[in-house]
Amino acid sequence: MKKTIFLLLLGAIVIYSCTNKNTVNENSNPFLAEFKTPHQVPPFDLIDTTHFIPAFKTGIKQEKAEIEAIINNSEEPTLENTIVAFDQVGEILRRTGVFYSLKAANTNPTIQRIARELTPIMSAHYNWIGLNQGLFNRIKNIYDKRESLNLNKEQMRVVEVMYRDFERSGAALPKEKREKLKEINKELSLLSLNFSEHLLNETNNFKLIIDKKEDLIGLPEGVIAAAAEAAKQNNMEGKWVFTLQKPSWIPFLTYSPKRELREKIYKAYYNRGNNNNKNDNKETIAKIVELRDKKAKLLGFSNYAEYVIDNNMAKTPENVFNFLNQVWEPALKVAKAERNEMQKMINAEGRKFKLQSWDWWYYAEKLRKQKYNLDEEELKPYFSLDNVREGIFHVSNKLYGLQFEERTDLPVYHKEVKVYEVKEANGKHLAILYIDSYPRPGKKGGAWCGAMRSGAYENGKKITPVVYIVTNFTRPIGDKPALLSWDETTTFFHEFGHALHNFFADGHYRRTSRDVPRDYVELPSQVMENWAGEKEVLKAYAKHYKTGEIIPDELINKIHESGHFNQGFGTVEYVAASLLDMNWHTTKKTQGIDVANFEKTTMDKIGLINEIIPRYRSTYFAHIFSGSSYSAGYYVYLWAEVLDSDAFNAFKESGDLFNQELAAKFRKYCLSENGMGEGMEQYLKFRGKKPSIDALLKKRGLK
C-alpha cells in the first residue's frame, strides 16, 4: 500500500454483521494480529463491525509510537532509519484499511455510522503525520543531501517522492497556516462523506414502477425478467421495477419506445443530488470548491487544479485545457452530425418533437440497427460473464503466462464473490483476486479495482497482493446466466488491467511500488480493453451460452464496423464532464457559488448542445466530489487513451497480438518498475517514443 501522507488509507471490502455488542475483546479482534488465513487474506468469517473502531484506535496508537521512535532517534537521519522506517509503519492500520471500500460495496446504516465516527479521527491522524515537523525535518535532512548519499535510482525516487508528499501536505508551511490546513482537511473529509451518502440515497430512493404490461413493449426479455425480479425483491410481485443502476436504466432508455417513461427515469438519473431535499448536494459542492481553493492557495498554488496537476504528467491546467480542446472541437462536430441524423429519423417517423437527451440512447440504437444491422441483444448470448472472465484469463495467460485457480476454501465477504489464486507461468504464487460482479442496494454504481493488501517487501521478503474487482453487471435471471453488454465486457477487461498492475507492481518501497501519476494510472486498464474486440481473442472466449457456438465472423465484423458509431456522443459527454471538472477547480470566484448556474454557464461557454448532458453532472459527480482522487483529474481517462492507443499499436505493428518480447517490456517498464521513474520516463523505456494524439482521434473516428 502506498504510504501517501495526505491520503486516507487505501480501502477495500469487508464482510460485516450487525450485532448489539458494545465492546469487543481485544484478543478476539482479528485486525490486531497477522491474519491466520491462507496467503493472509482477510478473515471475513471472523470480522464484525464492532472490531473496526477499536482496531483503528489501536492502529493509530501503534503508528504514532513508531513515528515518534523515528523522530526521537538520536542517530543522524539515514535512508534506513528514517525513509525505510517510515515506509514500514502502521501494520494494524494497513489491515484495517479493508474498511474503506465497505461504504462503496456493501454499506448499511451501521457502516455509515462507523464511517462518520472514524472520518474526523483519521483526518486528525493524517494531519498529525503530514504536518509533523519532527518527521518532516528528518526527511528533509536526507532530501537535502540526497545527491551525496550514493543512492540507487529507486532509493533516490522514494526520498524525492516522500519529501514531495510532505511538502504538498503543508509540512513546510509556518505554524499558523498548518493549523488552518488541518481544519480545512477535516471539513473536506466530512463534506466528501456527505456527498457520497446523499448520492447513494438518491440512487436507491428512485424506482420506476410499471404495472401495465403494454408499457414494457420493446424491452428485451432479459431486461423485463430483471425488472420483475427487482419488483419481487421490493414486495411488488406482479409489477416491474426499474432503478438508477446502469443494468436497469440504460436498457430502458435504449429500447423503450415509451418516451414519457424514458424522460421520467432519465430526469431522475440526472437530477440526483439536485432535488432540494435532505440529500441535495449543491451546498456541499459549493463548500468543497471553496475549501479546496483555500487549501491550494495556502500551499502556494493559484487554484486547486494547479495543485493537483503539478503532480501529474500534464503538469499544468493549461496543458489539460489545450488537450481537451483538441478533442472537443472534432468530437462536437461529429456529435452534431449524429444528432441531425437521429432528428431526420424522428421526422421520417412522422413524430413532432425535437430530439432530447432522454431520446438519444433510443434513437442511436435504432440508427445502429439501421446502419449495421446490429442489435445489442444479438451479441449478449456470446458474452456470458463466465466466458468473458475466461477470455480475460486467456489474454493474461497468452501475454504474461498467468494461471488462475478458483479457491473455494478462502473466506469471502458476500456469497456471490468468487476468489482466484493467481500464479506465474512457473506455478509460483503471485496474488489473490476477488471478483464481485452484481449490483446490491448497498453497493455504489460503476466498477472499480483496488487492493486489500498491496504487494510490498518486508525484511527482504515479498508480500504478495490481495486484489479485488467490483462491478455492477447484469444479474443472472432464472436459468439464464449473466449476459454482458459489449460495454460491460470492455469494462471487465478494463478493471482487470488495473488488477494486472496490482499483481505486477514490484518496488521495494510501499510508497513508490505502484506509484504513478493520476493521468498514467488508466494506461494499464485501458490498454487491456483493446484485446477484447480483436477477432483472434473473440474467437477464444465469445461463445453462445446455450449452444457453445463461437461468435460468427458476421457479428465480429458488425462489432468492428460499428466501432466508430456514436463516438461523437461518447466523446462529447466525457469531455464535457472533464471540462466541468477543470472549471470547478480553476474558477476565481469560489464563494457563494450557485452550483446549477455555474454548471449551465460552463456548458454554454463550451457550446455543449442541448441534446447531450455531461457524463456526470455536478451533483452526482462522485469522481471529483466523493473524495478527491479524480478532482481536477477526470481528464485522465482520455489522456491515458493516447498512451494506450499507442501502446497497443506496438503489438499490432509487430504482427503478433501476444508478442512475448513486447509483453515482457510492458510488464517490466509500465507495470512493475513504477518506483524507478516518472510516468513518461517509464513509458518511453517501453515504446521508445512519445505518443501522438492522432492515434486517439483515429481510434474514435474523429479524424
Which residues are identified as catalytic?
Answer: 495
Would you list the DSSP string of 72-127? T--SPP-IIIIIIHHHH--HHHHHHGGGGGHHHHS--HHHHHHHHHHHHHHHHHHH
The residues, any chain, with a CB within 8 Å of residue 585's CB and separated by 6 or more, are 289, 292, 303, 304, 305, 308, 317, 624, 631, 632
d(CA 542, CA 14): 33
Long-range own/partner contacts, residues 155-162 (CB < 8 A, 24 or more apart): 155/79, 155/83, 157/512, 157/675, 157/676, 157/677, 158/83, 158/87, 158/509, 158/511, 158/512, 158/675, 159/79, 159/83, 161/511, 161/512, 161/515, 162/3, 162/83, 162/86, 162/87, 162/511
Q: Counting beta carbons within 10 angstroms of the beta carbon of residue 336, is it exposed (0 to 12), middle (13 to 18) or buried (19 or more)?
A: middle
The one-letter amino acid code at 177 reads: K
Where do we find the cell 464484525? 48
Phi, then psi, of 407 in degrees rounded to 5: -115, 115
d(CA 582, CA 318): 10
Answer whether 576's CB lies under 8 Å from 422's CB.
no
The one-letter amino acid code at 685 reads: K
End-to-end Cα spacing for the chain: 41
Closest CA to 416 of 392, 440, 437, 446: 437
Question: Do β-strands 466-470 and 429-436 pair in parallel, antiparallel, or remain unpaired?
Answer: parallel
Rounded to the nearest 10 degrees, the angle between the axes of helix 357-372 and helix 317-348 is 70
Beta-ladder partners of 458: 461
Where do we find the cell 437527451? 357
d(CA 158, CA 148): 16
DSSP 8-class letter at 75: S
Residue 532, C-alpha cell as written in the block = 477484447
d(CA 394, CA 410): 23
SS3 347: helix
Query: Length of the chain, please?
Result: 703
Q: What are the C-alpha distances in Å from 258 to residues 78, 218, 219, 361, 546? A: 70, 9, 10, 13, 31
SS3 456: strand
Closest CA to 104 of 8, 19, 190, 200: 200
